[in-house]
A and B are shown apart, each in its own frame.
Chain A
Amino acid sequence: MIRKLVILALLSAACFISGGMLLSQHQDETLYPTPSLTKRMMLSDYFSVLRGGDGDTEVFEYCGDEGGGTVLILGGTHCDEPASYLAAYLLIETLDVQRGRVLIVPRANRSALTHNLQGEGHPQTFEVETLHGKRSFRMGSRYTNPLNQWPDPEVYLHSPSKQELSGSDSRNLNRCYPGRADGTYTERVAHALAELIKQEKVDLVIDLHEASPEYPVINAIVAHERAMDCAAFAVMELQGQGLEYSLEPSPQNYHGLSHRELGDHTNALATLMESANASQGRLRGRTDAQLVVTGRDKMYTRAAEIEMTRVPFGLEGIPLDIRVARHIEGTRQLVLAFNGLNAGKEVEFGGAPTYAEIVERGFGKFMHEEN
């Protein structure tokens, strides 16, 4: 009897401690927008069903003095792809819009930042050096937290295409577009984002992502056919700067992705960017906060030697600074290309550091905690 009680007490203590650790991930990081911020909204402003839930997320609006087009930047669609939301955070804390309008949703699937994917061994947080010391950020999951949407069906039937995907993809925001007002939790978030695009008459969507270094679509801009010209000019400009980028057309028979569905179901030009993130790859070695930040991994270096990676992967790895810098520069070039093709709808902004500046100093040095 005493032995059972001791075991029960030990188990209860383990549950209590680990439960506390898991709960700690529900706390959003504080962001410090620039004075250029004109409005701080919530996604539920566009679809009230989300109000107050984990799916409700902040929308930052930056308006220039002059009228122009509207660009929407999505970070944190997949929250195990940290460069996606850190690039969005960096823009929020540095942006100065002169013309047109920039909308930023840094945590598109906010629920996915509140947990880690079981079996992946990811750290809960990682730290980045800033001018004010170390700043901590959460590492999340590719999927919506099961606390918000559970159980998964065995097969996820995408709406409206009826395409079949594995059940876990029912919690993958980038397989749920254009979403459904009466659908699952994740489909409602996708629907709300599509509503935001329609109601705000967004012209250009830039969905920021990362992928494992062995993934075929990497260091790339993926574009809906209507956004192809814009993406092509941006890729040429990025290549001209010496950055490796490829241009990938959005597959017409693979549904649920932002570049396919937002392009088909809204008037926006839909694009998506990918950088190479070793911490989400299947070939990676030890999984810790160091891997997330430094991007160094000896297993991927071995994989590159047998040509199993789609990007060069040396001992120096692919650090978070470079991945964030690519997203910032890619965003800048997509907007410039959009401006060149859409006279009268230009969007002009400054403040954001250049690729070279971020690589030299680290993106953390440009974040503004004192605002």
Chain B
Amino acid sequence: MSKKVMINCDEATTICDKSQYCEATLWERIKLRMHLFLCKKCGLYSEQNKLMSKVFNTHLLNHSQHHLPDEDKEALKAQLEKKMN
């Protein structure tokens, strides 16, 4: 990331995303703060971004349980046994 203080919306929202994974550096967070102070559009992005992270955590991490169908298991078991002998 560059040393300049004022960043554009593309850079600001990129840092905003990075900070959702807690990986933005202190300097990046400072630049982001300053940008958000002046830019309402990115402010809205930042606010909604937190909700998006919550949505990801809710739906992507607690994924529903999948089961391998029994016939697939049987077939797999047969193949595995064949390879073992």
User: Do the two chains bind?
Assistant: no
A binding-site residues for B, Cβ under 8 Å:
none
